Amino acid sequence: MLLAFDTSMAACSAAVYDSARMRVLAARFAMMERGHADALAPMIKSVMDEAGIAFPDLTRIGVTRGPGTFTGVRTGIAMARGLALALDRKIVALDTLAAIAANAPKDKTPLVIAADARRDEIYFSAQGAAPIVLPVKEAVHRLPLEQSFILGTGAEALIAAAPEGRLIRLTAGNLPDARNFAVLCATYPVSDDPPEPLYLRPPDAKPQHQGGKSAAQIAIRQASVNEAQVLSALHAECFDNAWGAAEFAKLMAMPGAAAYLALEADEPLAFLLARQAAGEAEILTIATRPFARRRGIAGKLMSHLAHELREAGLVQLFIEVAADNSAARALYEGQDFTVTGKRKAYYEMPGGRREDAIVMMKALA
Protein backbone atom coordinates (compact mmCIF):
# COMPACT_ATOMS: atom_id res chain seq x y z
CA MET A 1 0.00 0.00 0.00
CA LEU A 2 1.22 3.46 -0.89
CA LEU A 3 0.18 6.92 0.24
CA ALA A 4 0.98 9.71 -2.22
CA PHE A 5 0.35 13.45 -1.87
CA ASP A 6 1.26 16.82 -3.35
CA THR A 7 1.25 20.42 -2.13
CA SER A 8 3.79 21.93 -4.49
CA MET A 9 1.61 24.26 -6.56
CA ALA A 10 -1.91 25.72 -6.51
CA ALA A 11 -3.59 22.50 -5.41
CA CYS A 12 -3.49 19.86 -2.69
CA SER A 13 -4.07 16.18 -3.42
CA ALA A 14 -3.68 12.80 -1.75
CA ALA A 15 -4.33 9.20 -2.76
CA VAL A 16 -4.01 5.68 -1.43
CA TYR A 17 -2.78 3.22 -4.06
CA ASP A 18 -2.89 -0.56 -3.88
CA SER A 19 0.29 -1.67 -5.63
CA ALA A 20 -0.71 -5.34 -5.69
CA ARG A 21 -4.03 -4.72 -7.44
CA MET A 22 -2.70 -1.66 -9.31
CA ARG A 23 -5.60 0.61 -8.48
CA VAL A 24 -6.40 3.73 -6.49
CA LEU A 25 -8.46 2.99 -3.39
CA ALA A 26 -9.23 6.60 -2.45
CA ALA A 27 -8.22 10.05 -3.66
CA ARG A 28 -8.85 13.73 -3.01
CA PHE A 29 -7.96 16.84 -5.01
CA ALA A 30 -8.61 20.48 -4.11
CA MET A 31 -7.53 23.69 -5.79
CA MET A 32 -5.97 26.17 -3.36
CA GLU A 33 -3.55 29.08 -3.58
CA ARG A 34 -2.67 28.85 0.10
CA GLY A 35 -3.51 26.85 3.21
CA HIS A 36 -1.82 23.62 2.10
CA ALA A 37 -0.26 23.07 5.53
CA ASP A 38 -3.69 23.14 7.18
CA ALA A 39 -5.43 21.09 4.47
CA LEU A 40 -2.96 18.25 3.96
CA ALA A 41 -3.31 16.29 7.22
CA PRO A 42 -7.15 16.17 7.12
CA MET A 43 -7.01 15.19 3.44
CA ILE A 44 -4.62 12.34 4.20
CA LYS A 45 -6.85 11.13 7.02
CA SER A 46 -9.85 11.26 4.70
CA VAL A 47 -8.29 9.05 2.00
CA MET A 48 -6.88 6.63 4.58
CA ASP A 49 -10.30 6.27 6.21
CA GLU A 50 -12.07 5.79 2.87
CA ALA A 51 -9.53 3.18 1.77
CA GLY A 52 -9.88 1.39 5.11
CA ILE A 53 -6.13 1.39 5.53
CA ALA A 54 -4.21 1.87 8.78
CA PHE A 55 -0.97 3.82 8.64
CA PRO A 56 1.16 0.78 9.63
CA ASP A 57 -0.20 -0.98 6.52
CA LEU A 58 1.60 1.49 4.25
CA THR A 59 4.74 0.20 2.57
CA ARG A 60 6.00 3.49 1.15
CA ILE A 61 5.28 7.23 1.00
CA GLY A 62 5.17 9.19 -2.27
CA VAL A 63 5.55 12.96 -2.52
CA THR A 64 6.44 15.65 -5.04
CA ARG A 65 9.64 17.57 -4.32
CA GLY A 66 9.28 20.53 -6.66
CA PRO A 67 9.72 22.70 -8.52
CA GLY A 68 6.88 24.75 -7.10
CA THR A 69 6.18 27.32 -4.42
CA PHE A 70 8.64 27.56 -1.54
CA THR A 71 5.95 26.97 1.09
CA GLY A 72 4.10 24.26 -0.81
CA VAL A 73 7.15 22.15 -1.58
CA ARG A 74 8.34 22.36 2.02
CA THR A 75 4.90 21.42 3.35
CA GLY A 76 4.71 18.18 1.38
CA ILE A 77 8.26 17.11 2.10
CA ALA A 78 7.90 17.84 5.82
CA MET A 79 4.79 15.65 5.99
CA ALA A 80 6.50 12.85 4.06
CA ARG A 81 9.54 12.95 6.32
CA GLY A 82 7.38 12.91 9.43
CA LEU A 83 5.33 9.93 8.30
CA ALA A 84 8.40 8.03 7.10
CA LEU A 85 10.13 8.56 10.44
CA ALA A 86 7.08 7.56 12.50
CA LEU A 87 6.31 4.48 10.41
CA ASP A 88 9.89 3.52 9.51
CA ARG A 89 9.04 3.59 5.80
CA LYS A 90 10.91 4.78 2.72
CA ILE A 91 9.99 7.83 0.64
CA VAL A 92 9.68 8.05 -3.13
CA ALA A 93 10.03 11.63 -4.37
CA LEU A 94 9.32 12.66 -7.93
CA ASP A 95 9.59 16.03 -9.60
CA THR A 96 6.42 18.05 -10.05
CA LEU A 97 6.53 18.06 -13.85
CA ALA A 98 6.68 14.26 -13.92
CA ALA A 99 3.62 14.28 -11.67
CA ILE A 100 1.78 16.62 -14.08
CA ALA A 101 2.77 14.42 -17.02
CA ALA A 102 0.99 11.51 -15.32
CA ASN A 103 -2.32 13.33 -16.01
CA ALA A 104 -1.94 12.90 -19.78
CA PRO A 105 -3.23 9.88 -21.72
CA LYS A 106 -0.41 7.49 -22.54
CA ASP A 107 -0.84 7.92 -26.29
CA LYS A 108 -0.30 11.69 -26.20
CA THR A 109 3.35 11.87 -27.24
CA PRO A 110 5.65 13.70 -27.53
CA LEU A 111 4.55 15.45 -24.35
CA VAL A 112 5.75 18.85 -23.13
CA ILE A 113 5.11 20.15 -19.61
CA ALA A 114 5.25 23.91 -19.00
CA ALA A 115 4.43 25.24 -15.53
CA ASP A 116 4.31 28.97 -14.79
CA ALA A 117 7.41 30.05 -12.84
CA ARG A 118 6.55 33.78 -12.97
CA ARG A 119 8.99 36.47 -14.16
CA ASP A 120 8.22 35.44 -17.78
CA GLU A 121 9.77 32.04 -17.11
CA ILE A 122 8.46 28.49 -17.04
CA TYR A 123 9.42 25.18 -15.49
CA PHE A 124 9.96 23.09 -18.61
CA SER A 125 10.27 19.41 -19.45
CA ALA A 126 9.97 17.66 -22.79
CA GLN A 127 9.57 13.93 -23.28
CA GLY A 128 10.22 13.13 -19.62
CA ALA A 129 13.51 15.02 -19.32
CA ALA A 130 14.55 16.53 -16.00
CA PRO A 131 12.82 19.87 -15.37
CA ILE A 132 14.59 23.16 -15.95
CA VAL A 133 13.60 26.79 -15.51
CA LEU A 134 14.07 29.16 -18.43
CA PRO A 135 12.46 32.11 -20.25
CA VAL A 136 9.45 31.23 -22.39
CA LYS A 137 11.17 32.39 -25.59
CA GLU A 138 14.15 30.13 -24.91
CA ALA A 139 11.89 27.15 -24.22
CA VAL A 140 10.58 27.39 -27.78
CA HIS A 141 14.00 26.35 -29.05
CA ARG A 142 13.94 23.24 -26.83
CA LEU A 143 10.67 21.84 -28.14
CA PRO A 144 10.66 18.46 -29.89
CA LEU A 145 10.99 18.78 -33.67
CA GLU A 146 7.63 17.15 -34.32
CA GLN A 147 4.21 18.45 -33.30
CA SER A 148 3.75 17.88 -29.55
CA PHE A 149 1.11 17.84 -26.86
CA ILE A 150 1.37 20.20 -23.90
CA LEU A 151 0.09 20.44 -20.31
CA GLY A 152 0.69 22.85 -17.46
CA THR A 153 -0.10 26.30 -16.16
CA GLY A 154 2.52 27.78 -18.50
CA ALA A 155 1.12 26.09 -21.60
CA GLU A 156 -0.66 29.16 -23.01
CA ALA A 157 2.48 31.29 -22.80
CA LEU A 158 4.56 28.68 -24.60
CA ILE A 159 1.88 28.05 -27.25
CA ALA A 160 1.75 31.80 -27.96
CA ALA A 161 5.53 31.96 -28.37
CA ALA A 162 5.86 28.80 -30.50
CA PRO A 163 5.18 28.54 -34.24
CA GLU A 164 1.48 28.14 -34.99
CA GLY A 165 0.29 24.52 -34.76
CA ARG A 166 3.49 23.31 -33.09
CA LEU A 167 1.78 22.52 -29.78
CA ILE A 168 -1.58 20.87 -29.10
CA ARG A 169 -3.18 21.87 -25.81
CA LEU A 170 -4.38 19.04 -23.56
CA THR A 171 -6.97 19.56 -20.82
CA ALA A 172 -6.14 16.49 -18.73
CA GLY A 173 -4.98 18.56 -15.73
CA ASN A 174 -2.38 21.29 -15.29
CA LEU A 175 -1.43 20.49 -11.70
CA PRO A 176 -0.16 17.37 -9.93
CA ASP A 177 -2.92 14.99 -8.90
CA ALA A 178 -1.99 12.15 -6.55
CA ARG A 179 -4.74 10.00 -8.10
CA ASN A 180 -2.69 9.93 -11.31
CA PHE A 181 0.93 10.03 -10.14
CA ALA A 182 0.57 7.49 -7.31
CA VAL A 183 1.34 4.69 -9.77
CA LEU A 184 4.69 6.33 -10.53
CA CYS A 185 5.52 6.39 -6.82
CA ALA A 186 4.78 2.67 -6.71
CA THR A 187 7.31 1.93 -9.46
CA TYR A 188 10.05 4.51 -8.78
CA PRO A 189 13.00 3.31 -6.67
CA VAL A 190 12.99 4.36 -3.02
CA SER A 191 15.89 6.22 -1.45
CA ASP A 192 17.56 5.80 1.90
CA ASP A 193 18.06 9.56 2.09
CA PRO A 194 15.20 11.95 2.92
CA PRO A 195 14.04 13.98 -0.11
CA GLU A 196 15.34 17.48 -0.64
CA PRO A 197 13.30 20.28 -2.25
CA LEU A 198 13.89 20.92 -5.94
CA TYR A 199 13.55 24.67 -6.50
CA LEU A 200 15.62 25.07 -9.72
CA ARG A 201 15.87 28.81 -9.16
CA PRO A 202 18.48 29.34 -6.39
CA PRO A 203 16.93 30.97 -3.30
CA ASP A 204 19.55 33.71 -3.22
CA ALA A 205 19.51 34.44 -6.97
CA LYS A 206 18.38 38.02 -7.37
CA PRO A 207 16.11 38.52 -10.39
CA GLN A 208 17.35 41.08 -12.89
CA HIS A 209 14.35 43.33 -12.44
CA GLN A 210 14.22 43.03 -8.64
CA GLY A 211 15.93 46.35 -8.06
CA GLY A 212 13.62 49.23 -7.28
CA LYS A 213 10.81 47.10 -5.89
CA SER A 214 9.35 48.24 -2.60
CA ALA A 215 7.44 46.55 0.18
CA ALA A 216 4.14 47.85 -1.20
CA GLN A 217 3.53 44.55 -3.02
CA ILE A 218 4.18 42.48 0.11
CA ALA A 219 1.33 40.80 1.98
CA ILE A 220 1.63 40.04 5.69
CA ARG A 221 -0.23 37.15 7.29
CA GLN A 222 0.04 35.14 10.48
CA ALA A 223 1.82 31.79 10.22
CA SER A 224 0.43 28.62 11.79
CA VAL A 225 2.38 26.03 13.77
CA ASN A 226 1.99 23.74 10.75
CA GLU A 227 4.33 26.11 8.88
CA ALA A 228 7.22 25.65 11.31
CA GLN A 229 9.16 23.85 8.57
CA VAL A 230 8.83 26.91 6.32
CA LEU A 231 10.12 29.26 9.02
CA SER A 232 12.98 26.88 9.69
CA ALA A 233 13.94 26.86 6.00
CA LEU A 234 13.86 30.66 5.84
CA HIS A 235 15.93 30.89 9.02
CA ALA A 236 18.53 28.54 7.53
CA GLU A 237 18.93 30.83 4.51
CA CYS A 238 19.70 33.77 6.77
CA PHE A 239 21.69 32.47 9.76
CA ASP A 240 24.63 30.15 10.34
CA ASN A 241 23.09 28.66 13.49
CA ALA A 242 19.71 27.73 12.03
CA TRP A 243 16.77 26.74 14.23
CA GLY A 244 15.09 23.45 13.38
CA ALA A 245 11.41 22.96 12.58
CA ALA A 246 10.80 21.27 15.94
CA GLU A 247 12.27 24.28 17.76
CA PHE A 248 10.07 26.67 15.79
CA ALA A 249 6.99 24.55 16.41
CA LYS A 250 7.67 24.55 20.14
CA LEU A 251 8.14 28.33 20.25
CA MET A 252 5.08 29.00 18.07
CA ALA A 253 2.91 26.83 20.31
CA MET A 254 3.83 28.78 23.46
CA PRO A 255 1.16 31.03 25.01
CA GLY A 256 1.46 34.57 23.68
CA ALA A 257 3.56 33.57 20.65
CA ALA A 258 2.81 34.89 17.17
CA ALA A 259 4.60 34.40 13.86
CA TYR A 260 4.10 36.38 10.67
CA LEU A 261 5.14 35.74 7.08
CA ALA A 262 5.81 38.39 4.45
CA LEU A 263 4.85 37.09 1.01
CA GLU A 264 5.03 38.28 -2.56
CA ALA A 265 2.74 36.37 -4.89
CA ASP A 266 2.54 33.62 -2.21
CA GLU A 267 6.34 33.29 -2.09
CA PRO A 268 7.62 33.81 1.50
CA LEU A 269 10.36 36.44 1.59
CA ALA A 270 10.64 37.14 5.33
CA PHE A 271 9.23 36.20 8.70
CA LEU A 272 9.01 37.40 12.28
CA LEU A 273 8.45 35.43 15.48
CA ALA A 274 7.42 37.27 18.66
CA ARG A 275 6.21 36.45 22.14
CA GLN A 276 4.19 38.55 24.60
CA ALA A 277 3.67 38.44 28.35
CA ALA A 278 2.82 40.85 31.19
CA GLY A 279 2.09 43.84 28.96
CA GLU A 280 5.35 43.51 26.99
CA ALA A 281 6.43 41.72 23.84
CA GLU A 282 9.74 40.50 22.45
CA ILE A 283 10.79 39.75 18.88
CA LEU A 284 12.53 36.38 19.15
CA THR A 285 13.80 36.33 15.57
CA ILE A 286 13.25 38.18 12.31
CA ALA A 287 14.83 37.48 8.93
CA THR A 288 14.59 38.42 5.26
CA ARG A 289 15.88 36.16 2.50
CA PRO A 290 19.11 37.55 1.01
CA PHE A 291 17.76 38.42 -2.43
CA ALA A 292 14.76 40.30 -0.97
CA ARG A 293 16.65 42.61 1.38
CA ARG A 294 16.73 46.42 1.21
CA ARG A 295 13.10 46.63 0.20
CA GLY A 296 11.68 47.57 3.60
CA ILE A 297 10.10 44.15 4.15
CA ALA A 298 11.48 43.65 7.67
CA GLY A 299 10.28 47.14 8.58
CA LYS A 300 6.82 46.30 7.28
CA LEU A 301 6.75 43.14 9.40
CA MET A 302 7.74 45.06 12.52
CA SER A 303 5.18 47.80 11.83
CA HIS A 304 2.50 45.14 11.41
CA LEU A 305 3.50 43.52 14.70
CA ALA A 306 3.54 46.89 16.50
CA HIS A 307 0.01 47.60 15.27
CA GLU A 308 -1.26 44.23 16.47
CA LEU A 309 0.38 44.71 19.86
CA ARG A 310 -1.10 48.19 20.29
CA GLU A 311 -4.53 46.82 19.48
CA ALA A 312 -3.98 44.22 22.20
CA GLY A 313 -3.02 46.93 24.72
CA LEU A 314 0.69 46.18 25.04
CA VAL A 315 3.03 49.07 25.78
CA GLN A 316 6.59 47.91 25.05
CA LEU A 317 8.32 45.81 22.38
CA PHE A 318 11.86 44.48 22.88
CA ILE A 319 14.47 42.99 20.58
CA GLU A 320 18.06 41.83 21.02
CA VAL A 321 20.79 42.24 18.42
CA ALA A 322 24.47 41.38 18.23
CA ALA A 323 26.60 44.39 19.09
CA ASP A 324 28.51 44.20 15.79
CA ASN A 325 25.39 43.89 13.62
CA SER A 326 25.30 47.52 12.55
CA ALA A 327 22.84 46.94 9.70
CA ALA A 328 20.23 45.38 11.99
CA ARG A 329 20.74 48.06 14.63
CA ALA A 330 20.19 50.76 12.02
CA LEU A 331 16.99 49.01 10.89
CA TYR A 332 15.65 48.84 14.43
CA GLU A 333 16.55 52.44 15.16
CA GLY A 334 14.61 53.37 12.04
CA GLN A 335 11.64 51.60 13.62
CA ASP A 336 11.99 53.79 16.78
CA PHE A 337 13.80 51.22 18.91
CA THR A 338 16.27 52.66 21.44
CA VAL A 339 19.07 50.95 23.37
CA THR A 340 18.10 50.02 26.93
CA GLY A 341 20.82 47.58 27.98
CA LYS A 342 23.54 45.09 27.12
CA ARG A 343 24.10 41.40 27.80
CA LYS A 344 27.78 40.58 27.91
CA ALA A 345 29.04 37.63 25.81
CA TYR A 346 25.45 36.60 25.08
CA TYR A 347 25.83 35.18 21.56
CA GLU A 348 28.07 32.26 20.67
CA MET A 349 29.71 33.03 17.34
CA PRO A 350 31.61 30.77 14.90
CA GLY A 351 35.02 29.75 16.23
CA GLY A 352 33.89 29.91 19.86
CA ARG A 353 33.93 33.71 20.01
CA ARG A 354 31.31 35.39 22.21
CA GLU A 355 29.44 38.56 21.21
CA ASP A 356 27.53 41.06 23.36
CA ALA A 357 23.78 41.45 22.84
CA ILE A 358 22.32 44.93 22.68
CA VAL A 359 18.81 45.15 24.15
CA MET A 360 16.53 47.61 22.34
CA MET A 361 13.01 48.75 23.16
CA LYS A 362 10.17 50.43 21.27
CA ALA A 363 7.44 52.24 23.17
CA LEU A 364 4.02 51.28 21.81
CA ALA A 365 1.83 53.56 23.87
Tell me which residues are annotated as active site.
Answer: 320, 332
Angle at 8 between CA 109 and CA 222, to 5 degrees: 160
Residue pair 260/271 in contact by the 8 Å Cβ criterion: yes
Residue pair 262/251 in contact by the 8 Å Cβ criterion: no
Distances (CA, A) of 90 to 3, 8, 80, 258: 11, 20, 9, 34
Residue pair 72/50 in contact by the 8 Å Cβ criterion: no
Residue pair 57/20 in contact by the 8 Å Cβ criterion: no
Distances (CA, A) of 82 to 41, 89, 94: 11, 10, 17
Residue pair 73/66 in contact by the 8 Å Cβ criterion: yes
Residue pair 47/26 in contact by the 8 Å Cβ criterion: yes
Q: What whole-number distance in Å separates Cα of residue 234 and Cα of residue 261?
A: 10
Coil, strand, or helix at residue 95? coil
